[in-house]
C-alpha cells in the first residue's frame, strides 16, 4: 500500500492474482468503526434501501457488494487508496484520518464530524 499522510495500515492479508490499479472496476466489502472501536452500522442502514442481490450475510454480519472504478472518486479517498494494490481475496484494516474520510461533515446519525475511522476492506473481485 502506498504511504500517504492520514492513512495507516493496521493489518493485511494478501490475496491472489493481479493487483488493483487506477481505472480498475472492483467489488469490495467494508466495515466501518469509530477510532474508539464502536462499529458504524452503515451496511445495515444501507441494506434497508438496496436490492437483495447486493446484500450478503456472512457469519451474522451484513455486507454490501460495493462496486467502484478506482480513481473516479466513487468512495472516500482513504478507501480508494487502500484498495489500490489489493488482490482478489485480500483484506486490509486501516486507520483513516478525517481529511481522507467524511471531513467536518460526517454522515448524520452515523459518522460524527471530524471522525477518525478504522476501516476493514475485503477485495472480492474485478468486475
Whether the predicted model's global pTM rises above the 0.85 cut: yes
The Cα–Cα gap between 37 and 31 comes to: 12
Residue 21 has pLDDT above 90, yes or no: yes
Percent of the chain with pLDDT over 90: 96
**pLDDT digit string, tens, across residues 36-49:** 999 999 999 999 99
Give the mean model confidence (pLDDT) for residues 6-30: 97
The pLDDT score that the predictor gives to residue 3 is 80
Give the mean model confidence (pLDDT) for residues 3-29: 96
The Cα–Cα gap between 92 and 29 comes to: 11
The pLDDT score that the predictor gives to residue 22 is 96
User: Considering the chain, what is the average pLDDT of its residues?
Assistant: 96
The pLDDT score that the predictor gives to residue 1 is 80
Bridge partners for 119 per DSSP: 32, 94
**pLDDT digit string, tens, across residues 85-116:** 999 999 999 999 999 999 999 999 999 999 99
Given 3-state DSSP classes, what are the helix, strand and coil percentages for the chain, each rounded to the nearest 5? 15, 40, 45
Give the mean model confidence (pLDDT) for residues 51-78: 95
Q: Environment class of residue 3 by beta-carbon count within 10 Å: exposed (0-12), middle (13-18) or buried (19+)?
A: exposed
Cα angle 74, 77, 83 (rounded to 5 degrees) comes to 80
Amino acid at each position: 500500500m502506498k504511504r500517504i499522510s492520514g492513512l495507516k495500515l493496521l493489518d493485511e492479508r494478501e490475496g491472489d492474482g493481479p493487483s488493483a490499479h487506477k481505472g480498475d472496476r472492483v467489488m469490495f466489502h467494508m466495515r466501518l468503526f469509530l477510532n474508539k472501536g464502536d462499529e458504524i452500522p452503515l451496511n445495515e442502514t444501507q441494506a434497508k434501501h438496496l436490492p437483495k442481490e447486493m446484500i450478503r450475510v456472512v457469519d451474522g454480519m451484513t455486507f454490501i457488494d460495493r462496486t467502484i472504478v478506482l480513481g473516479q472518486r466513487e468512495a472516500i479517498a482513504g478507501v480508494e487508496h487502500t484498495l489500490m494494490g489489493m488482490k482478489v481475496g485480500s483484506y486490509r484494516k486501516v486507520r483513516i484520518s478525517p481529511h481522507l474520510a467524511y471531513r467536518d461533515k460526517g454522515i448524520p446519525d452515523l459518522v460524527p464530524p471530524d471522525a477518525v475511522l478504522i476501516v476493514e476492506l475485503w477485495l472480492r473481485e474485478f468486475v
